[in-house]
């Protein structure tokens, strides 16, 4: 695989889970990484803070900048982007990983939860990408990656959890629109989604962890492959992790299984 050495990444929601795994994979190449997340102090039930991940990044060979960021606050996003560019001399990659999950039907979805998902998933993604644009335009290899699903407009997903589906598909619509909008500027905008459930706080909430899950490292390896591609020729794509890695020559996926031999559970939005 190609290397992210010398690249600067801004990853939202990187204090745990898939965001953390993507950060550590980039760190192994010697990348510079801003960990943008809310958790600066240990959470009572969830592992990881921006500071613990910063230590892991440094130990893995990268350079870290921990930043307290709530992606609902565009002022804080802009300040964090500027701090990243000032510290590392620019910005090459934005990974919009931060996401809020509440997979409930319409009558069981409080408006507070609806607003949270729209604010984090849609508004946060848009605001982060928007704030990063001036610096991405100065990068020789500018890329944006959304952790959002393929635009499979299957009625089941809307019937099962309408509000959550709308919020995740809106992230994917950002990919569709921004890839076209910034094509001539050379900014690649793509999406990545897991074929199976990934062991995270979300999979625990859905009751499928650890059986049926793969580790976050499969998403990290797939993200690395996408971010290493030529920004001029790879944009506007909706990737599934397994498909990306198969195209890279990976044949052994068992090493990503949380429980060896257990049947894997397809992720949401995967037909």
Q: Which of 134, 95, 75 shows the shortest CA–CA distance to 12?
A: 95
pTM of the model: 0.95
Helix (H) or strand (E) holding 259: none
The Cα 165–Cα 132 span in angstroms is: 26
Residue 140's CB is within 10 A of a number of other CB atoms, namely 8
Name the residue with higher pLDDT: 205 or 146.
146
Whether 68 contacts 12, CB under 8 Å: no
* Burial grade of 233 (CB within 10 A; 0-12, 13-18, 19 or more): exposed
Which uninterrupted H or E stretch holds 102? none
Residue 253 pLDDT exceeds 80: yes
Asked if residue 81 lies in contact with residue 91, where contact means CB atoms within 8 angstroms, the answer is yes
pLDDT digits (tens, 9 = 90+) for 13-23: 999 999 999 99
Per-residue model confidence as pLDDT tens digits over 160-180: 999 999 999 999 999 999 999
Edge-to-edge, what's the strand order for the sheet holding 188-193? 63-68, 32-37, 8-12, 93-96, 143-146, 188-193, 238-240
Amino acid 168: pLDDT: 97
Residue 169 among the catalytic residues: no
Catalytic residue among 114, 164, 169, 256: 164
Residues 38-79: tens digit of each pLDDT: 977 777 767 789 999 999 999 999 999 999 999 999 999 999
Q: Tokens standing for 40? A: 């600066």
Give residue 61's pLDDT: 98
- End-to-end CA distance of the chain: give it in Å, rounded: 29
Q: Which residue has the tokens 């980039």?
A: 26
Domains defined along the chain, listed by start: 8-256 (3.40.50.720)
* Rounded Cα gap, residues 149 and 19, in angstroms: 16
């Amino acid at each position: 695989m190609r290397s992210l050495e010398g690249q600067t990444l801004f990853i939202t929601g990187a204090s745990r889970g898939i965001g953390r795994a993507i950060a550590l994979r980039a760190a192994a190449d010697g990348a510079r990484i801003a960990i943008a997340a809310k958790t600066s102090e240990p959470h009572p039930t969830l592992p990881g803070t921006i500071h613990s991940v910063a230590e892991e990044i440094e130990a893995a060979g990268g350079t870290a900048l921990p930043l307290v960021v709530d992606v609902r606050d565009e002022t804080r996003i802009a300040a964090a982007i500027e701090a990243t560019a000032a510290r590392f001399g620019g910005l090459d990659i934005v990974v919009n990983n931060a996401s809020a999950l509440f997979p409930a039907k319409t009558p069981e979805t409080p408006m507070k939860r609806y607003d949270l998902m729209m604010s984090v998933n849609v508004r946060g993604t848009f605001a982060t990408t928007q704030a990063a644009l001036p610096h991405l335009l100065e990068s020789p290899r500018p890329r944006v990656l959304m952790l959002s699903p393929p635009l499979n407009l299957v009625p089941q997903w809307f019937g099962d959890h309408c509000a959550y589906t709308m919020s995740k598909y809106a992230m994917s619509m950002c990919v569709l629109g921004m890839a076209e909008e910034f094509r001539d500027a050379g900014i690649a905008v793509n999406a990545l989604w897991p074929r199976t459930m990934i062991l995270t706080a979300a999979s625990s909430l859905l009751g499928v962890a650890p059986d049926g899950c793969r580790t976050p490292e499969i998403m990290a390896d797939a993200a690395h492959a996408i971010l290493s591609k030529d920004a001029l020729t790879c944009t506007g794509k909706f990737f599934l992790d397994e498909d990306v890695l198969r195209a890279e020559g990976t044949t052994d996926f068992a090493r990503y299984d949380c429980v060896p031999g257990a049947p894997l559970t397809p992720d949401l939005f995967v037909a």
